[in-house]
């Protein structure tokens, strides 16, 4: 009897054990897909979010929102993209001009893009949930589009209209299966209007709807075309209306931006080459681009972190896709992915045509499709095509193979890695921006109005002179309400000999419209700055021999130095500029250098010496040896010739090419006629072999 109880008990324990094992095994249902999208969004776009900020056109838009108000976007966009104004008005009315808030908002928008793509493609392929899920995953992490972190600009300019278009596709196919389709069709048409009119980027992707409809209907080709036109014609009318609007607006209306060049200069061979290039980049290269970028610098911490994230993401996705089940547990999405009967060749064909359609607007404007630059923003109109093309390739090559899930997981993981790699680029850019704005504030406490700041170029990738103009005014005109724009930054490399900066002759008028305000000044109201890639920001002064000291810089910068008038800097003010829109960086060598430069301008040479000694005592030293010159001059002019001599020798040891600058400084010291220094100064000039 006891033995019987033992047998029964052991069987019961075994059943309990197996039951518990089944309970413990993770089973992901379709309801968990939003959670997967959220995790992917955070991994790809959110890990470095606190360390990113404003870039490119973000600054002018943020400046408008803060100083002129959200309503200003209506007239501000009238000469450019008038239907974008309401979108900017709505978002800027809700979100303050704080970089972190906009980066968080971008994360939310990116997550919504994934959800909307998933919902829309489920309407297109309701019986092929695996295809819908995979397409949405590819769109969510689409690695060809690196401009996610230019959040203020691209949320409003592209991503919100893109959401409208995705949803419009979904409601079109929802209407096809509805008993009363009119409501869904009207919603789809309204969403199409909201997607196509704000920006010309999406003009071409309307053709994707027709291609998807053509693949949806059954019958021979003539029947399929007839059915497609029967359902597509309302959308076609809106497309034609948009085309008419664009022709009028760009050719005859008030549009004031890129010129449409394709119709006049784009030959057939060039068109074929450009479209082939777009297909190669969008259909193939971008999906593995992160491997090329990381392998080229495999030992760099950023590359190692990126590859580690790719590996982690692949394990997560392979496990999730291999374990997910539908709510009823009868068919896994894993199986749905493997068993789909949808024609891979059809997907590839739709993908190719969609990529070409998406490229047409930027091609018409004569703009390049350059990856890892601001020009890859044009990839947003090729997201759908590129995703469908890759999906078709996977279906064609792997079919019902069990390895298909792992290939999909790898593609998505590589996309996550690419976006993390991009985020790190923007993180470095934001760090450099902090240095620039704070060094400006340390060196220039206040600035006379109507001052133009000239430089050849800034050592960062995602800002232009027009971008810098906004934070410059934010920094030095905190009480600006309305009227002429007080300050302007111009790149001589880009603007010289153009309408904005015709020449570098004194008193040359400068007029520059900045959306709804205008800057008025002239070249005699300028200061010239230099921000080297490795070194500190400095105001160049012709009286200190900077035209000779920096003669090896770009000619367009050197030629501007005689115009530089540091007297336009207000050295003493009750409220010195502080870029509170960005946190203050660590006080390293550049802090002491810029403060010393300011003290030198104020003729407070003892303060210069004090700042230099403090920086040296803390272990700081310059990357650019020319930055020693200020401290050498201050020590020599205050009678501490020996300290100046030692710094001079240290400067030569660091960079032997700096002798010219040393000679200029020691000659200036000699000209000061400081009593008791004649002989040691002359000895230094001889030691340096300075010409008379």
Average pLDDT for 194-212:
93
Q: Is the Cα torsion angle 191, 192, 193, 199 positive or negative in sign? A: positive
pLDDT band at 86 (very low <50, low <70, confident <90, very high): very high
Query: Is 372 inside a domain boundary?
Result: yes
Residue 273: count other Cβ atoms within 10 Å of its Cβ: 11
Domain's final residue, options 584, 601, 636: 584
Q: Do 255 and 280 belong together in one domain?
A: yes
Looking at the predicted structure, is the pLDDT value of residue 672 above 90? no
Q: Which tops the pLDDT comparison, 589 or 483?
A: 589
Mean pLDDT of 450-455: 95
Is residue 431 scored above 90 in pLDDT? yes
Residue after which a domain boundary falls, among 567, 584, 601:
584
Q: Is residue 510 part of a domain?
A: yes
In order of 227, 279, 392, the CA distances from 348 in angstroms are: 22, 11, 5
On the CB side of 592, CA atoms within 13 Å amount to 22
Please give the Cα distance from 81 to 454 (Å, whole number): 30
d(CA 459, CA 511): 26
Same domain, 379 and 505: no
Do 570 and 659 lie in a common domain? no
Read off the pLDDT band of 324 (50, 70, 90). low
Residue 657 has pLDDT above 90, yes or no: no
Backbone angles phi, psi at 522, to 5 degrees: -155, 170
Give pLDDT tens digits for 243-268: 998 888 777 655 545 444 444 466 88
- 108 and 136, same domain (yes or no): yes
Residue 4, domain member (yes or no): no
For residue 518, the cross-strand partners are 513
pLDDT for 498 equals 84
Query: Strands 526-530 and 538-540: what pairing?
Result: antiparallel
Q: Is the pLDDT of residue 74 over 90?
A: yes
Strand partners, 538: 530
Burial 164-175 (b: 16+ CB within 10 A, else e): bbbbbbbbbbbb
8 found inside a domain:
no
CATH of the domain at 664: 1.25.40
Once rounded to an integer, what is the mean pLDDT over residues 430-456? 95
Residue-wise pLDDT for 125-160, tens only, equals 998 888 899 999 999 999 999 999 999 999 999 999
User: How would residue 7 be classed by pLDDT, with cut points 50, 70 and 90?
Assistant: very low
Return the closest-CA partner of residue 45 out of 115, 95, 119, 106: 106
Share of the chain above pLDDT 90, in %: 66
Query: How confident is the model at residue 253, as a pLDDT?
Result: 55
Average pLDDT over residues 69-81: 90
User: Is residue 22 pLDDT above 50, yes or no?
Assistant: no
pLDDT of residue 257: 52
pLDDT score, position 14: 45
* pLDDT bracket for residue 675 (50, 70, 90): low
Whether residue 636 sits in one domain with residue 531: no
Q: What is the DSSP letter of 564?
A: B
Instruction: Look at residues 145, 111, 101 and name the one whose alpha carbon lies nearest to residue 40.
Output: 111
95 and 144 assigned to the same domain? yes
Q: State the average pLDDT over residues 102-124.
A: 97
For the chain, how many structural domains are there in total? Answer: 3
Single out the residue in 542, 557, 584 at which a domain terminates. Answer: 584
pLDDT, position 12: 52
Helix axes 99-124, 33-41, angle to 10 degrees: 140
Q: Which domain holds residue 462?
A: 444-584
Task: Assess contact for 224 and 210: CB atoms under 8 A.
Answer: no
pLDDT band at 43 (very low <50, low <70, confident <90, very high): very high
Is 17 among the domain residues?
A: no
Does one domain contain both 678 and 553? no
| pLDDT, position 252 | 60
Alpha helices in 296-403 (DSSP H): 301-323, 333-339, 344-364, 383-398
Same domain flag for 398 and 503: no
Instruction: Report d(CA 385, CA 390) in Å as an integer.
Output: 9
* 23 is a domain residue: no
The DSSP-derived string for 130-189 is HHHHHHHHHHHH-TT--GGGSHHHHIIIIIHHHHHHHHHHHHHHHHHH-SSTHHHHHHHH
Q: What is the pLDDT of residues 349-364, one digit of tens each?
A: 999 999 999 998 888 8
pLDDT at position 559 over 80? yes
Q: Tell whether the model's pLDDT for residue 497 goes beyond 60.
A: yes
> How much is the pLDDT for 265?
61
Q: What confidence score (pLDDT) does residue 515 get? A: 87
Pair 496, 557 in one domain: yes
579 inside domain: yes
Higher pLDDT, 365 or 219: 219
57 and 133 together in one domain? yes
Round the average pLDDT of the chain to a whole number and report it.
88
pLDDT in tens, 569-609: 999 998 899 998 888 999 999 999 999 999 999 999 999 99
- Same domain (yes/no): 211, 338: yes
Are 578 and 593 part of one and the same domain?
no
Q: Say yes or no to pLDDT of 493 above 70.
A: yes
pLDDT score of 339 more than 50: no
- Residue 512 lies inside a defined structural domain of this protein: yes
pLDDT tens readout for residues 385-406: 999 999 999 988 887 778 899 9
Q: Out of 419-433, 503-517, 538-552, 663-677, pick the least confident.
A: 663-677
Share of the chain above pLDDT 70, in %: 91
Using only C-alpha atoms, the chain has a radius of gyration, in whole angstroms, of 31
- Per-residue pLDDT averaged across 633-641, rounded? 91
């Amino acid at each position: 009897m006891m033995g019987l109880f033992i047998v029964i008990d052991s069987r019961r324990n075994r059943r309990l054990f197996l039951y518990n094992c089944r309970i413990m095994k993770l089973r992901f249902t379709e309801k968990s897909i939003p959670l997967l999208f959220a995790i992917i969004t955070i991994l790809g776009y959110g890990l470095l979010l606190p360390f990113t900020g404003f870039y490119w056109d973000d600054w002018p838009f943020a400046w408008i929102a803060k100083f002129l108000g959200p309503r200003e976007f209506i007239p501000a966009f009238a000469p450019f993209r008038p239907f974008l104004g309401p979108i900017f008005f709505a978002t800027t009315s809700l979100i303050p001009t704080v970089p972190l808030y906009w980066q968080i908002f971008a994360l939310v928008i990116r997550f919504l893009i994934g959800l909307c793509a998933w919902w829309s493609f489920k309407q297109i392929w309701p019986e092929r949930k695996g295809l819908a899920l995979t397409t949405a995953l590819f769109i969510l992490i689409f690695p060809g589009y690196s401009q996610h972190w230019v959040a203020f600009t691209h949320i409003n300019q592209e991503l919100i209209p893109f959401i409208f278009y995705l949803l419009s596709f979904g409601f079109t196919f929802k209407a096809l299966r509805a008993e009363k389709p009119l409501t869904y069709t009207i919603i789809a048409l309204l969403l199409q209007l909201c997607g196509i009119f704000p920006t010309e980027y999406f003009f071409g992707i309307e053709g994707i709807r027709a291609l998807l409809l053509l693949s949806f209907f059954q019958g021979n080709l003539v029947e399929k075309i007839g059915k497609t036109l029967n359902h597509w014609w309302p959308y076609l009318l809106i497309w034609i209306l948009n085309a008419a609007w664009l022709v009028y607006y760009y050719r005859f209306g008030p549009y004031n931006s890129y010129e449409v060049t394709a119709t006049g200069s784009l030959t057939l061979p060039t068109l074929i080459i450009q479209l082939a290039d777009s297909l190669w980049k969008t259909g193939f290269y971008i999906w593995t681009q992160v491997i090329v970028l990381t392998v080229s610098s495999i030992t760099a911490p950023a590359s190692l972190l990126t590859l580690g994230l790719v590996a982690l993401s692949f394990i997560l996705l392979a496990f999730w896709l291999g374990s997910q089940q539908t709510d009823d547990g009868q068919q896994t999405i894993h199986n749905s992915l493997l068993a789909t009967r949808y024609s891979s060749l059809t997907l590839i064909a739709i993908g190719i045509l969609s990529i070409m359609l998406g490229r047409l607007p930027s091609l018409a404007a004569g703009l390049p499709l350059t990856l890892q630059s601001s020009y890859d923003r044009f990839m947003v109109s090729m997201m759908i095509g590129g995703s469908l093309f890759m999906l078709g390739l996977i279906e064609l090559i792997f079919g019902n193979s069990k390895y298909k899930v792992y290939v999909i997981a790898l593609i998505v993981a590589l996309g996550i890695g690419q976006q993390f790699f991009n985020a790190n680029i923007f993180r470095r850019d934001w760090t450099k921006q902090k240095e620039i704005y704070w060094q400006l504030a340390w060196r220039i406490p206040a600035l006379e109005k109507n001052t133009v700041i000239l430089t050849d170029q800034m050592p960062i990738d995602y800002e232009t002179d027009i971008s810098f103009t906004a934070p410059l005014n934010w920094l030095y005109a905190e009480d600006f309400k309305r009227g002429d724009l007080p300050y302007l930054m111009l790149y001589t490399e880009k603007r010289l000999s153009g309408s904005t900066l015709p020449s570098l002759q004194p008193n040359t008028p400068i007029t520059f419209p900045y959306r709804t305000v205008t800057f008025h000044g002239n070249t005699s109201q300028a200061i010239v700055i230099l921000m080297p890639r490795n070194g500190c920001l400095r105001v160049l002064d012709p009286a200190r021999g900077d035209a000779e000291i920096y003669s090896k810089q770009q000619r367009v910068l050197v030629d501007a130095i005689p115009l530089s008038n540091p007297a336009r800097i207000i050295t003493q003010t009750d409220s010195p500029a502080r870029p509170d829109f960005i946190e203050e960086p660590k006080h390293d060598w550049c802090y002491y250098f810029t403060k010393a430069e300011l003290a030198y301008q104020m003729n407070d040479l003892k303060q210069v010496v004090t700042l230099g000694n403090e920086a040296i005592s803390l272990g700081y030293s310059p990357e650019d040896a020319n930055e020693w010159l200020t401290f050498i001059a201050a020590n020599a002019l205050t009678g501490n010739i020996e300290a100046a001599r030692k710094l001079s020798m240290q400067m030569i040891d660091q960079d032997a090419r700096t002798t010219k600058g040393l000679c200029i400084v020691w000659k200036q010291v000699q000209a000061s006629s400081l009593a008791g220094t004649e002989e040691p100064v002359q000895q230094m000039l001889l030691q340096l072999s300075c010409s008379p």
